Amino acid sequence: MFMLVLKALHIFFVISWFAGLFYLPRIFVNLAMIPPDGEVERTRLLLMARKLYRFMTPLGALALALGLWLWLGYGFTGIWLHIKLSLVILLVAYHFYCGLLLNRFQSGKNRHSHRWYRVFNEAPTFILLAIVLLVILKRPF
């Protein structure tokens, strides 16, 4: 029963973390579209982005910690798990890259267009799909 509760909590925190991973780059799209005279809108969006990043970081940490606990508890092995863990590492890198992008917006050094952020925003969707398939099928595609 305890492991099922851990699994449920893990899924909850993964979903919560992903809400941030999906929404933060959407804020970046809007930030990249602000005209030079839109300082009020820029300030408001930056505040939203900072708060979201600070909120989603502990959610991601809890998702990772519970995932590690589940892994150690169940002792899963196999190529599917190695691929999944590689994708999770990629998501963690994506998360921290979002933090770097946020810092660039805050310092006025954004280098990307709103189109780039629209494409960037899709990455976690495909990674999530791959992870779900790996976990359910317990084998590579």
Q: What is the pLDDT of residue 75?
A: 80
Q: What is the mean pLDDT of residues 31-45?
A: 94
| pLDDT above 70 as % of the chain | 99
Q: State the pTM of this model.
A: 0.93
Non-local (6+) Cβ contacts of 27 within 8 A are 45, 48, 49, 52
Non-local (6+) Cβ contacts of 78 within 8 A are 138, 139
Q: Which domain holds residue 122?
A: 2-137
Q: What is the pLDDT of residue 78?
A: 83
Q: What is the pLDDT of residue 73?
A: 85
Using pLDDT thresholds of 50, 70 and 90, give the confidence band for residue 74: confident
Contact yes or no for 91/127 (Cβ under 8 A): yes
Q: What is the mean pLDDT of residues 27-37?
A: 95
Q: What is the pLDDT of residue 77?
A: 78
Q: What is the pLDDT of residue 141?
A: 62
Across the chain, mean pLDDT equals: 95
CA-derived radius of gyration, the chain? 17
Over residues 84-105, the pLDDT tens digits come to 999 999 999 999 999 999 999 9
Contact yes or no for 119/49 (Cβ under 8 A): no
What's the CA gap between 76 and 62, in Å, rounded? 20
What's the CA gap between 68 and 49, in Å, rounded? 28
Token couple for 69: 């606990």
Query: How many domains in the chain?
Result: 1
Closest by CA position to 71, among listed 16, 137, 135: 135
